[in-house]
A and B are shown apart, each in its own frame.
Chain A
Amino acid sequence: MAFAAFATAEAQAEAPKRRSRIALFLLLPGILYLILFFLTPLISLLLTSLQAPAEFGDIGVYDYAFNWQNYVDVVQQYLPHIARSFGYALAATVFALLFSYPLAYFIGVKARRWPLLQSLMLVLVIAPFFISFLLRTLAWKQLLSDESFIITSLKALSLMAPDAHFTGTPFAVIFGLTYNFIPFMTLPLYTTLERLDTRYLEAGSDLYAGPFAVFRKITIPLSMPGIVAGTLLTFIPAAGDYVNASRDFLGGPDTQMMGNVIEANFLVLLNYPAAAALSIILMAAILVLVGIYVKRSGTEDLL
C-alpha cells in the first residue's frame, strides 16, 4: 500500500530494549485512538450490516444475526447508485486533475522566482476552506439555479434550451464534486512540483526531447507521487460524498450516489443493516480500487 512506503527503506538497526519500550509507550495514545474510534465502529458496522429485522418489533428494530442476504439485496437494489458513485467520482477526479496540474505547475515551478506570488496563489487555493463546505455548495446552487444570471444569460444566448436545467443534472453534481475537491488535488501536486528539480528538464531538453516529450517522459513521472496522492485524496471522499448529489444541493432524483442512499437508509427508512452493508461495500470497493491503482502506477518506491 501507499502508506507503507512512508516507512524508511533502510532496515533499522536493532535499538536497545529500553528505547523500544519508550517508543511503544509513545505509540500508546495513537493505538488506543485507533482501537476506540476506528476498530470499534468498524466492527459495530460489520455486525449491524448482518442484522435481521426483529420478529415482533417496530420498524427500525433489528436483532443480531448472520443475515448476509442484506449484501445481495442492497447490491441488487442500489447497483445504479454504486455505479454512479464511482462514475461521478472518477469524472470529478479527472477534471480536478486537468484543472489542478497546470495550476500547481505554475505555482510550484514557474512562480519560484517570485515567492510572494507563490504564497499569494497558495492562499487563494486554500481560501475556500475558510467558508463552510455546505455554504459554498449552497452558493453554487444559487449561482446555477434556473433564475440565476448565468443560466438566464446562457438561455438568452441560446446556448441552453429554454426548458433545460443545470442543477439536478449529473453535470451539476460532477461540477460540484470537482469544485469542492480541487484544493485536495492541487496541494499534493504543488508539494511534489515545488521540489521538481528543473535541471532534469534541462537535461531532457539537452538530450533531444522537445517540450512535450520532456513533459511526458520526465515531468509527469517525477510528479507521480503528487498525482497519486492528489487523485486518492479526491477520489476517495468524492465516491462517498452525499452533499453535492443531494436534492437539497446540486443533485436531483436521478443523481443519487451511494452516500445519499446510505443517508436515506439510516435516517429516513431506518434500515440500518442495509445502510451498514452499503457502507462496507463502499469501503471495500474503494480499498480494492486504490490498491490496484497504486500497484499499477508503480509509485510505491517514489512515495
Chain B
Amino acid sequence: MSVREFAERGADLQLVGIQKRFPGFTAIEELDLTIPAGSFFALLGPSGCGKTTTLRLVAGLEEPTRGRILIGGTDVTDTKSHERPVNTVFQSYALFPHMTVIENVAFGLKRRRIGDALGKAHEALRLVELDHLAQRRPQQLSGGQQQRVALARAIVNRPALLLLDEPLGALDLKLRRQMQLELKTIQEEVGLTFLHVTHDQEEAMTMADTVAVMNKGAIEQMGAPAELYELPRTVFVANFLGQSNLFTGEVVDTTSTALTVDAGGTRIVVPTARAQRHRGTVAVGVRPEKVTLHTHEPAGSADRNVVGPGRVLDVSFSGVSTQYLVDLGALGTVLVFAQNVGFGPVAALGSEVWVSWEIMHGFGLDDVPGEAGRFPADDSTTSIAAQRRDSLVSELEEG
C-alpha cells in the first residue's frame, strides 16, 4: 500500500507473536491480535501493562524484539513509521508549536504531495468545528481545541488505521463526553479502523465495539464491552472493569446447569455455562448493582443466592445510587449498589441485613484472587520494594 494515496477504507491490523523487550524489562511478553477493518478497538489496561508500547509498535516508533505486524495483509514490520499508512493522535497532542493550526493539519498531506493540501486541511478543521481558528498557533488554543486539531491532523490523511493514545486524558468530564461522541461519529462517517489505547474503562466501554483488557504485557480478555462486563473471565478483568464481589471456595456439586460452591460455609450457586472452571477451588462473583439488600431475611428461592445476616459497615450516598459495604463474616465483605428509587438509604449503618442476587447474574472465574497477585498477600518490605520498582519501570515506559 503506497502512502502517496488515501486509504479507500480501514485496513485489518494483525499482530503476530509480538514481543518487546527494553533493557531491563519486558513490556510485551507475547501478543497476538487481529483487529478487523472498520472496527473501533480499545486496548484497556493499567499504566505499564504494555498498551502504549503496542501502539508505538504499530505506529513504527518502536521495533518489536520478535513478531510481525501486518496492516491490510502487508507486512510492515521493517517499514519506517513515515512509510506506514497509519496516523496517531498522541497523548500530548504533539502539535508543532512553530506552525499555525492549518499548517499543522496540512503537514502530512504536503509531505505526501497530495493535491489541494490546504483545501483538504480546511475541510478537516471544519469537521472538528475549528476552521475559524486556522491561523492561530497551537499554544493559543485550549486543551480541548488542541485535542481536536490533533484529531484533524491525523484523520485528514485518511490513514488505513488511526491510533489514539489516551487522547481524552487531559480533558474535563464534559469535554470528554463531547469528544467521545465526536470520535465515534467520525469513525462511523469515514469508516476507518480505530485503535484506541486507554486506562479509562468507561471511555473504552462507551466508544469501542471491541475491548481488549491488557495486563502485564498480555491480553487477559477480549470482547464486546457488555460481554466483558457481564462475564469477566479473570479476577483482573472482574476488578479492573467495574467492581466485583468475589468469593473463593470449593466446588461441591456440579450439574449441567448449576455449579455450587462452598465459600466459607455458605453455598453459592452460579450457572455452569457462566463458569470457567468446574472443579477444585474457584472464584465466583457478582456485580454490586445486581445485588439486592434486604432488611428482613428473604424467603428462600430456587433462582436466588441469599446470604446473611451481615452488618452494614459503610453507607455512601452518591445521588443516583447508594453504595453499601456489608460485612458477611466468613464470606468477607460485599459491595451493594442500590438505585435511590425511594428517599434516602434503605439500611442504616450497623444494621442487620441480608443480600441476595439472581443465580443467572453470577459468574465463575478462571483464576482465584490469590493467584492473580493483584494485591500480594504478604506485605513484606521486599515485596513492597519490588512493587515500587515495577511501578517506576512502568511509569518510565509510559513516558
Interface residues of A (CB under 8 A from B): 197, 199-200, 202-210, 213-214, 217-218, 221-222, 224, 302
Contact = CB atoms under 8 A, between A and B. Distances in A.
B59 A222 contact: no
A208 B61 contact: no
B48 to A, nearest CB: 19
Interface string B61-103: 1000000000000000000111100111010101111100000
Given A199-B90, A199-B92, A213-B111, A206 B98 contact: no
A30 B107 CA distance: 47
A200 B111 contact: no
Contacts of A206: 59-61, 81-82, 86-88, 90
B304 interface: no
B112 interface: yes
Interface of B: 3, 59-61, 80-83, 86-88, 90, 92, 94-98, 107-108, 111-112, 153, 157
Given A208-B82, A208-B111, A213-B82, 10 more contacts: A202-B81, A202-B94, A204-B96, A206-B81, A206-B86, A206-B87, A207-B157, A208-B3, A214-B82, A222-B97
B202 to A, nearest CB: 27
Nearest to A199: B94
Given A199-B90, A213-B111, A205 B96 contact: no
Nearest to A221: B98
B61 A209 contact: no
B108 A208 contact: yes
Contacts of B83: 208
B90 A203 contact: yes
B94 A208 contact: no
A208 B88 contact: no
Given A208-B3, A209-B111, A203 B98 contact: no
Name the residue in A199, A207, A209, A221 with the highest tally of chain B Cβ atoms < 10 Å from its Cβ.
A207
Contact of B111 (A197, A207, A221, A222): A207
11 contacts: A200-B96, A202-B94, A205-B81, A206-B61, A206-B87, A208-B82, A208-B83, A209-B107, A210-B82, A214-B82, A218-B96
Nearest to A201: B94
A74 B112 CA distance: 56
Contacts of A204: 96, 107
A9 to B, nearest CB: 11
Q: Which 8 A-B pairs have the closest CB atoms?
A: A207-B108, A203-B94, A208-B111, A221-B98, A205-B81, A199-B94, A209-B111, A206-B88
A208 B157 contact: yes
Contacts of B86: 206
Contacts, number: 62
A249 to B, nearest CB: 41
A222 B98 contact: yes
Nearest to B156: A207
Contacts of A202: 61, 81, 90, 94
Contacts of A214: 82
Contacts of A209: 82, 107, 111
A272 B87 CA distance: 67
Nearest to A113: B23
Name the residue in B3, B59, B96 with the highest tally of chain A Cβ atoms < 10 Å from its Cβ.
B96
Contacts of B59: 206
B288 to A, nearest CB: 40
Nearest to A222: B98
B9 to A, nearest CB: 19
Contacts of A200: 94, 96-97
A207 B93 CA distance: 13
Contacts of A208: 3, 82-83, 108, 111-112, 157
A205 B60 CA distance: 9
Given A218-B96, A222-B98, A205 B90 contact: no
B113 to A, nearest CB: 10
Contacts of A218: 96
Contacts of B107: 204, 207, 209, 217
A218 B98 CA distance: 8
A136 to B, nearest CB: 37
